[in-house]
Structure 1
Amino acid sequence: MDLGTTFDVAVARRPRALALVDGDIRRDFLSWQEDIRRVSGGLSALGLTKGHHLVCVMANRYEMTTLYWGCQMLGAIFTPFNWRATSDEIAFVLGDAEPHLVAFDDVTAAAVQVAANEAGLSEESLISVGDSPNSTSFVDLLRYEPVAGPVGADESDICLMLYTSGTTGRPKGVPRSHRAERIAASSVVAHLRYQFGDSALGVMPLFHTMGIRVLLCSTMINGAFINMRGFNAAEALRLVEEERVNSLFLVPTMFHDMMAHENFSAADVSSVANVAYAGMSMTNELERRCINFLKPKIFANYYGSSEIFTFTFCDHLDRKPGAAGWPGMNQMIRVVRADVDTMVKPDEILPANQIGEVIATMQSPEAFSGYWNRPDADFKAIR
Structure 2
Amino acid sequence: MDLATAFRWTAERYPHRRAVGGPAPMTYAEWDTRTDRVAHALSALGAGPGERAIFLLQGGEPLATLHLAAQKAGIASLPLSTRFGVDELAYCISDCSPVLVAVDETTYALAAQALETVERPPTLVWAGAPGDQPRGTASLAAETDRARSGPAPLPPTESDISVMLYTSGTTGRPKGVPRTHAAEFHATLAHLVQTGHAPGEVTLGVMPLFHTMGLRSLLASVLAAGTWVPQAKFDADASLDLITQENVSALYLVPTIFWALLQTGRLDEATSVRKLAYAGASMTPALAQRLAETLAPERFVNHFGSTEIYTFSIGPDSAAKPGCAGRAGVFSRVRLVDPDPGAHPDDIVAPGEQGQVAVSAASPEAFAGYWNRPDADAKSLRDGWYFTGDLASTDEDGDLWIAGRVDDMINSGGENIYPEEIENALAGCPDLDEVIVVGTPHDKWGHAVTAFVVGRPGVDPARTLEKVEAYARGASGLPSMKRPKRIVVVDHIPKSAVGKILRRHLASGDFSSLAETTGTAKR
| Normalised TM-score (structure 2) | 0.70
Verify the 8 A CA contact 1:333 1:358 in the aligned structure 2.
Answer: yes
Q: Which amino acid aligns with 2:138?
A: T
Structure 1 equivalent of residue 62 of structure 2: 63
Task: Output aligned runs, 1:121-136, within 5 Å.
Answer: 124-130=123-129, 131-133=132-134, 134-136=136-138
Aligned counterparts of 1:111 and 1:192: Cα–Cα separation in 2:
37
Q: For 1:379 and 1:115, how far apart are their aligned partners in 2?
A: 30
- Report 1:302-381 matches (<5 A): 302-340=303-341, 343-381=342-380
Q: For residue 302 of structure 2, what is the aligned residue in structure 1?
A: 301
Matching residue's letter, 1:12: E
Amino acid at match of 1:94: I
> 2:94 matched to 1:95?
yes
Which residue is equivalent to 1:141?
Answer: 143
Which residue does 2:282 correspond to in 1? Answer: 281
Decide whether the 8 Å contact of 1:109 with 1:132 is kept in 2. Answer: no
Matched residue of 1:372: which SS? Answer: coil
Question: Higher mean Cα deviation, 234-243 or 127-136?
Answer: 127-136
Task: Report the residue type matching 2:125 in the other structure.
Answer: L
Residue 236 of structure 2 is aligned to residue 233 of structure 1: yes
What's the offset of the Cα at 1:249?
0.1
Return the offset for 1:149: 1.2
1:17 is aligned to 17
What is the percentage of aligned positions where both structures have the same residue? 38
Q: Per-residue deviation at 1:122?
A: 5.7
Higher relative contact order (Cα pairs below 8 Å, separated by 6+ residues):
1
- Range 162-171 or range 67-76, more displaced: 162-171
Equivalent position of 2:490 in the other structure: none
Kept in 2, the 8 Å contact 1:34–1:146? The answer is no
Whether the 8 Å CA contact 1:287–1:321 is kept in 2: the answer is: yes
1:222 is aligned to: 225
Aligned match of 1:106: 105
Question: Shift of residue 229 of structure 1?
Answer: 1.2
Change (3 A) 1:123 1:284: closer
**SS of the residue aligned with 1:307?**
coil
1:83 positional shift: 0.5
Distance 1:70 1:35 in 2: 8
1:115 and 2:118 aligned: no
**Structure 2 partner of 1:248:** 251
| 2-structure distance, mates of 1:83, 1:324 | 30
Alpha-carbon distance change, 153 to 51 in structure 1, aligned in 2, over 3 angstroms: same
The residue type equivalent to 1:87 in the other structure is: V
Return the alpha-carbon distance in structure 2 between the equivalents of residues 168 and 357 of structure 1.
18
Are residues 1:382 and 2:384 paired?
A: no
Other-structure match for 1:45: 44
The residue matched to 2:116 in structure 1 has which SS?
helix
Aligned-partner SS, 1:305:
coil
Per-residue deviation, residues 81-133 of structure 1 (Å, max 9, x unmatched): 11011111111111011001101111111110111232245684423313231
What's the CA shift string for 1:43-89, capped at 9, x where partnerless?
11112111111101122122111110110111100001110111111
**Within 1, Cα distance between the matches of 2:249 and 2:277?**
12
1:153 matches 2:156 = yes
1:6 is aligned to 6
* Structure 1: gaps spanning 5 or more residues: none
Is contact 1:183-1:365 (8 Å) kept? yes
| Whole-angstrom CA distance in 2 between matches of 1:50 and 1:18 | 30
User: How far does residue 13 in structure 1 lie from its aligned partner after superposition?
Assistant: 0.8
Distance 2:102 2:120 in 1: 12
Shift in Å at residue 27 of structure 1? 0.8
After superposition, the C-alpha distances for 1:15-64 in whole angstroms (9 at most, x for unaligned) are 11111135x31111111111111111111111211111110112212211
Q: CA deviation at 1:374?
A: 0.7
Structure 2: segments with no counterpart, 5+ residues: 383-523
Deviations 1:289-323 (A, max 9, x none): 11111111111100000001100011122332210
Provide the C-alpha distance between the structure 2 equivalents of 1:96 and 1:127, rounded to a whole number of angstroms: 22
In 2, the alpha carbon distance for the partners of 1:128 and 1:316 equals 42
Provide the residue aligned with 2:266 in structure 1.
263
**Are 1:155 and 1:179, in contact at CA under 8 Å, matched by a contact in 2?**
yes
Q: How far apart in 2 are the matches of 1:55 and 1:279?
A: 23
Q: CA deviation at 1:171?
A: 0.4
Which of 1 and 2 has greater Rg?
2
The counterpart of 1:197, out of the listed 196, 200, 220, is: 200
Residue pair 1:18, 1:27 contacting (<8 A) in 2 also:
yes
Q: What is the letter of the counterpart of residue 11 of structure 2?
A: V
Say if 1:132 and 1:89 are closer, same or farther in 2 by CA, change over 3 A. Answer: farther
Correspondence for 1:173 among 160, 172, 176: 176
What SS class does the counterpart of residue 373 from structure 1 fall into?
coil
**CA distance, structure 2, for counterparts of residue 127 and residue 338 of structure 1:** 48
User: Any conservation in 2 of the 1:123–1:135 contact (CA below 8 Å)?
Assistant: no
Name the counterpart of 1:206: 209
Secondary structure at 1:316 match in 2: coil
Q: Count matched residues.
A: 378
> What residue number does 1:76 align with?
75
Contact 2:70 2:76 in 1 (8 A): yes
Matched AA of 2:271:
S
Q: TM-score, normalised by structure 1?
A: 0.95
SS in 2 for 1:376: helix
User: Where does residue 291 of structure 2 map in the other structure?
Assistant: 290
More deviation, 116-125/106-115: 116-125
2:394 maps to none
CA-atom RMSD in angstroms: 1.4
